[in-house]
């Protein structure tokens, strides 16, 4: 028997993930298929928690600086504040900068902000690497401790990043704490 090329293995892996996404119920669903679907669902929920916080940060900034954006009719010409908000929605660094410069809140100084950044890195691996640890392709050193749950050497491990229901519970608790701490702050 001949071994498969790395490209063939990648193709088979992608096909199997696509097959696992399709919902199967009843007798057609094997235990392996159900586990794969549960994994995808768990990844989606953890990723969604990050998106909820980022959306909260953007919407709160918009309500503070450009509430007319939330009206049914789009605003007219872009002014400096509109351009700044457009930049803020592009990435987390821009959003953090906007909060610091325009709302006088340094998000990086929040009590658990670094944990949120770690959660964002986890989300990145879940979304962009299909939940697989690939340190050479996409290094995330702050997730190495998580990988040590399944391997003594994160640099040598290749496979699914550890993820369970407690990760979702912790992500939700963290997100609620961050949003609650911002609700109690006075914005300028």
The span from the CA of 60 to the CA of 41, in Å, is 28
Instruction: Check whether 70 has a pLDDT greater than 70.
Output: yes
Where does residue 117 fall: left (phi above 0), alpha (psi -120 to 50 degrees), or beta otherwise?
alpha
Whose CA is closest to 125, among 144, 142, 141, 138? 138
49, 168 in Cβ contact below 8 A? yes
Whose CA is closest to 60, among 121, 50, 115, 52? 52
pLDDT mean across residues, the chain: 88
Phi, psi at 157, each rounded to 5°: -75, 140
Mean pLDDT, rounded, for 59-64: 92
According to the model, what pLDDT value does residue 19 have? Answer: 72
In three-state form (DSSP H/G/I as H, E/B as E, the rest C), the secondary structure along 123-154 is HHHHHHCCCEECCCCCCCHHHHHHHCCCCCCC
Phi, psi at 132, each rounded to 5°: -100, 135
The span from the CA of 127 to the CA of 44, in Å, is 8
Domain ranges of the chain: 6-183
The span from the CA of 69 to the CA of 76, in Å, is 10
According to the model, what pLDDT value does residue 114 have? Answer: 96
pLDDT digits (tens, 9 = 90+) for 98-146: 999 999 999 999 999 999 999 999 999 999 998 989 888 888 999 999 9
Whose CA is closest to 53, among 138, 178, 151? 178
Give the confidence band of 13 by pLDDT, cuts at 50, 70, 90.
Answer: confident
The model carries a pTM of 0.82
């Amino acid at each position: 028997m001949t071994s498969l090329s790395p490209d063939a293995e990648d193709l088979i892996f992608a096909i199997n993930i696509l097959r696992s996404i399709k919902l199967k119920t009843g007798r057609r669903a094997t235990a392996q298929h159900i586990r794969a679907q549960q994994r995808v669902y768990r990844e989606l929920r953890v990723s969604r928690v990050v998106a909820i916080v980022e959306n909260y940060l953007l919407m709160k900034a918009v309500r503070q600086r450009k509430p007319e954006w939330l009206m049914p009719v789009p605003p007219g010409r872009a002014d400096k504040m509109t351009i700044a908000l457009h930049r803020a929605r592009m990435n987390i660094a821009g959003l953090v900068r906007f909060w610091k410069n325009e709302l006088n809140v340094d998000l990086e100084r929040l009590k658990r902000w670094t944990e949120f950044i770690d959660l964002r890195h986890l989300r990145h691996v879940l979304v962009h690497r299909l939940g697989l640890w690939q340190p050479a392709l996409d290094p995330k050193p702050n997730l190495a401790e998580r990988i040590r749950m399944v391997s003594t050497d994160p640099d040598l491990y290749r496979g699914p990043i550890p993820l369970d229901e407690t990760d979702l519970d912790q992500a939700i608790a963290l997100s609620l704490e961050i949003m609650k701490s911002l609700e109690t702050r006075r914005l300028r």
